[in-house]
Structure 1
Amino acid sequence: MKKRRSLKRFLVLLILLLLVAGGAWTGIWYIVSGRLITHVLAWEQARQAEGWTIRHDPPRRTGWPMAAGVALANVSLSGGSAYVPGGMRWAAGSITLALDIRHPNALSLAVTGRQVLTIDSGQPLAFQAKRFTGQAALLPGDRVGLMQFAAEDLLAAVPGQDPHQGQVRPASIARLAAALRFHAAADAKAPALAVAAEFHDIRLPPSHMAALGNPSLLAFDLAFSGPVPVQAAAASAAKNGAAWVRAGGSMTLNRFHLGDGPLTLDAQGLFGLDSSLRPEGQITVQARGLGPTLDRLAARHVMTVPEARAMIAVLGILTPASGTGVLAAPVTLHDGDVNLGPIPLLRLRP
């Protein structure tokens, strides 16, 4: 009898302890999620002071028990003409931001539903992913460190070339991985913004590029060095670009890789902007499989056979006589002219 009473008391005490622990954990979760909502709203106010317009449904707590999160539905963000000529607009079905209570310095996000991106007055690009997630390191002073993003089975509706026809063409990316780091206090030699991304198994809509096949990999690693102009949000993109050039800003292409059918293209280089804000500098390019690429383009009627043979003859001048078939040549950008070695390619408008 005494054993039963002791067991009963133990179970009652255990239940009480669990209730107390659960209540305390729920209180912590409620406090942390409330602070996250406060930080999100403060971030939005700071961006709105810079000229951005942000709209969404009222924040809703989510993520209990292990994550303190906030869910935002019907999100739209527009503005950015200080950084992107003409500005941009982005909309998403919903975003969930969450902090793991055990690791409160790591912010995670998940985007669900249809997303739409519009640059300047261009046609909107609609896309949706099976999974679209991200992580960001939270630094002291509500600053954000390294941000990483990943997506799977991303399907996009690419606008047609004729905006009056309203036609869209499907394109897809099997996997996407990207990283971004922003450092506002960088000097002329340090990277203020570093962006790297990889796109795996790309399927393109019918086009000249798709005539080569579907790229298995597109990757780049790009760093923008130089101090961010003071009060940059109050100026136009052109003024900010000019101020960045005067301060010694430059762009370093650490890596570019394209694997597309028979063509493999690698590049790296250093360039900046001239007084007309056109790219200026030099990029070293290595290309393999150019001959088979041109033959395939001719076979698929992207160009004529004589045009392909003429280009092969020109490339033979630039390709070393080692017989490797590898083109290694500099691409120079100066005064609006783009040259591949000694061969003019195109001229950029000011």
Structure 2
Amino acid sequence: MSAPAPAAPRRPAPASAPPRASRPRRRGGRLLLGLVLLLALLGGGHYALWSFMLGRMEQGLEQWASARRAQGWEIAHAAPVRGGWPFAARLTLADWRIAGPQGLAWQAEALDAELRPTALDRLVLRPRGPQALRLGATTLPFTAKDLQATLALSADTPPDRASLEGRGLRLGPAEASLAIDRLSGELALPDPAETALTLALEGVVLPMQTPLGPRIESATLDATLNGAPPATGTPAERAARWRDAGGALELRGLTLRWAEIAASAAATFALGPDLQPVGAGTLRLANAPRLLEALVQAGVVAQRSAGMARAILPLMQRPDPNGGAPQLEVPVSLENRTISVARLNLGRIPGIEWK
């Protein structure tokens, strides 16, 4: 019996292959590529929207300027420069100037007009650099640390409401400027024959000394101009036609806090036969004796008139229900360029020269 054949030597089992790392890498690469493409698509869409918004803004600006020029306005600026991407659509108009047919003009070194995707119903205007207001032959230069106007937009009607915010304003030449810490206001055009204005000022510093000192703590204004001023004719002709049509300035509320004095007033003004302002209203004062003494010391009120006023003031004042200084309510009038309070002449105002 033959011997069994020797067994073939066993081959070592092949080592197990390491796990492949290429698949996760490929997946990660595809995900990264997809994310890049998605961001590029979103960025391209956002840029297209930004360009569309700016195109509409330029078109709307040109249409608005053409309509104003047809009404006699002068509007000038350099070619619009686009900017603001990706957070806003902004047009910068250098050498901005606008002048109305009534002789009122405003110019600025540059004007930024801005729309944001989150607030497409509000156009924000920010003037930059030195600015100037002109009324007739009078020019008032001014600067501001921050100043912006916001216009409410509508798809069906032109803007009929604008708000204004500012701080660090200086009006007039540098050596004799009027300073305003804060300013806020709103201008509304509810219909073509009515213009409403509200204004609030804080920290007003006058460029000269006054009987009550140079600093006014706060002042507010609520006024309505009734009647649309005509757009054609000389300034005097337009003023006369506005007066003859019943035009008037209604001062609904004026408040003032100046030193120890708190004052409020309401009045209605119009133009008289000589095209000078005339009007009448009511003035309310807290701490009137302090104001009287300040006017006497400044020479505005004569000593003889002051003696009579000192005697009757206690009879005219009323206690303040809140425990403050006694309140005085007196009539106030403007006639022949003379301001009178309780028939006491306080002085004359400069006349209006209609050129």
TM range (shorter): 0.7 to 0.9
Question: Residue 276 and residue 296 in structure 1: after superposition, are their counterparts in 2 closer, same or farther (change >3 A)?
Answer: closer
SS in 1 for 2:30: helix
Q: Mapping of 1:34-45 within 5 angstroms? A: 34-45=55-66
Is 1:17 matched up with 2:38? yes
Identify the match of residue 162 of structure 2 among 147, 152, 163.
147
**Corresponding residue of 2:185:** 178
**Corresponding residue of 1:162:** none
**Corresponding residue of 1:109:** 125
**Corresponding residue of 1:59:** 80
Is 1:134 matched up with 2:152? no
Is 1:317 matched up with 2:312? yes
Question: Residue 287 and residue 131 in structure 1: after superposition, are their counterparts in 2 closer, same or farther (change >3 A)?
Answer: same
Unaligned runs of at least 5 residues, structure 1: 82-86, 160-167, 187-191
- CA contact under 8 A between 2:317 and 2:328: conserved in structure 1? no
Question: Residue 279 and residue 316 in structure 1: after superposition, are their counterparts in 2 closer, same or farther (change >3 A)?
Answer: farther
Question: Residue 242 and residue 298 in structure 1: after superposition, are their counterparts in 2 closer, same or farther (change >3 A)?
Answer: closer
**Corresponding residue of 2:302:** 307
Runs of 4+ in 1 over 6 A off after TM superposition: none
Q: 1:176: Cα distance to partner?
A: 0.6
Q: 1:170: Cα distance to partner?
A: 2.7
**Corresponding residue of 1:252:** 250
**Corresponding residue of 1:290:** 288
| Cα distance in 1 between the residues matched to 2:335 and 2:299 | 28
Question: Residue 76 and residue 312 in structure 1: after superposition, are their counterparts in 2 closer, same or farther (change >3 A)?
Answer: farther
Q: What is the TM-score normalised by the length of structure 1?
A: 0.82
| Cα distance in 2 between the residues matched to 1:315 and 1:287 | 15
SS in 1 for 2:86: coil
Q: What is the TM-score normalised by the length of structure 2?
A: 0.81
| Cα distance in 1 between the residues matched to 2:120 and 2:208 | 46
**Corresponding residue of 1:267:** 265
| Cα distance in 1 between the residues matched to 2:260 and 2:299 | 17
| Cα distance in 1 between the residues matched to 2:208 and 2:336 | 34
Letter of the 1:150 counterpart:
E
Higher-Rg member (1/2):
2
**Corresponding residue of 2:233:** 235
| Cα distance in 2 between the residues matched to 1:265 and 1:312 | 22
**Corresponding residue of 1:121:** 137
Letter of the 2:179 counterpart:
S
For these two proteins, the number of residue pairs brought into alignment is 324
Q: 1:112: Cα distance to partner?
A: 1.2
Letter of the 2:241 counterpart:
A
**Corresponding residue of 1:77:** 98
- CA contact under 8 A between 2:82 and 2:92: conserved in structure 1? yes
**Bigger relative contact order (CA 8 A; separation at least 6):** 1
Is 1:90 matched up with 2:106? yes
Percent identity for Structure 1 against Structure 2: 26
| Cα distance in 1 between the residues matched to 2:304 and 2:289 | 9
Question: Residue 270 and residue 295 in structure 1: after superposition, are their counterparts in 2 closer, same or farther (change >3 A)?
Answer: closer
Q: 1:330: Cα distance to partner?
A: 1.3
Q: 1:103: Cα distance to partner?
A: 2.3
SS in 2 for 1:144: coil
| Cα distance in 1 between the residues matched to 2:294 and 2:267 | 29
| Cα distance in 2 between the residues matched to 1:151 and 1:312 | 44
- CA contact under 8 A between 2:208 and 2:214: conserved in structure 1? no
| Cα distance in 2 between the residues matched to 1:258 and 1:323 | 19
- CA contact under 8 A between 1:318 and 1:341: conserved in structure 2? no
